[in-house]
Amino acid sequence: MRHTVFLCLASALALSACGARNGDAEVQRAMQDMNAIDGTNMNDVMLTVGDPEESVKYFSGALANDPGRVDLERGLAKSLVRAGRANEAVTAWQLVFANPDANLDDRVDMADAQIRDNQWDAAAATLNGIPPTHETFNRYKLEAMIADSKQQWSKADSFYQTAVGLTTTPANTMNNWGYSKLTRGDYPGSERLFTDALRQDSTLFTAKNNLILARGAQRKYDLPVVPMTQVERAQLLYTMALTAIKQNDITIGKGLLREAIDTHPQHFEEAARSLRALEEA
| Predicted pLDDT of residue 51 | 86
SS3 95: helix
Residues 115 and 79 in one domain: no
Torsion angle in degrees (nearest 10) through CA of 254, 257, 263, 265:
-140
Instruction: For residue range 145-188, list pLDDT tens digits in order.
Output: 999 999 999 999 999 999 999 999 999 999 999 999 999 999 99
| Predicted pLDDT of residue 22 | 53
For the segment 122-139, the average pLDDT, to the nearest whole number, is 96
- The letter for the amino acid at 214 is A
CB of 163 closer than 8 Å to CB of 173: yes
| Predicted pLDDT of residue 26 | 56
Instruction: For residue range 246-257, list pLDDT tens digits in order.
Output: 999 999 999 999
Residue 189 or residue 20, greater confidence = 189
Report yes or no on 71 lying in a domain. yes
| Predicted pLDDT of residue 12 | 44
| Predicted pLDDT of residue 45 | 81
- The letter for the amino acid at 91 is T
Report yes or no on 111 lying in a domain. yes
Q: Which residues contact 275 (CB under 8 A, 6 or more apart)?
A: 254, 257, 258, 261
Domain that holds residue 47: 25-85
| Predicted pLDDT of residue 148 | 96
Instruction: For residue range 63-97, list pLDDT tens digits in order.
Output: 999 999 999 999 999 999 999 999 999 999 999 99
CATH code of residue 121: 1.25.40
Q: Which residues contact 145 (CB under 8 A, 6 or more apart)?
A: 115, 176
CB of 76 closer than 8 Å to CB of 60: yes
CB of 266 closer than 8 Å to CB of 236: no
Q: Within a 10 A sphere around the Cβ of 58, how many other Cβ atoms?
A: 21
- Out of 131, 151, 167, a domain closes at 167
Q: Which residues contact 169 (CB under 8 A, 6 or more apart)?
A: 200, 201
Report yes or no on 38 lying in a domain. yes
Number of structural domains in the chain: 2
CB of 244 closer than 8 Å to CB of 217: no
Instruction: Indicate if the pLDDT at residue 28 is higher than 80.
Output: no
Residues 46 and 59: their CA atoms lie apart, in Å, by 9
pLDDT band at 23 (very low <50, low <70, confident <90, very high): low
pLDDT band at 119 (very low <50, low <70, confident <90, very high): very high
CB of 104 closer than 8 Å to CB of 130: yes
| Predicted pLDDT of residue 8 | 46
| Predicted pLDDT of residue 35 | 47
Residues 207 and 171: their CA atoms lie apart, in Å, by 9
Q: Which residues contact 274 (CB under 8 A, 6 or more apart)?
A: 238, 241, 242, 245, 257
CB of 170 closer than 8 Å to CB of 200: yes
- Out of 147, 167, 187, a domain closes at 167
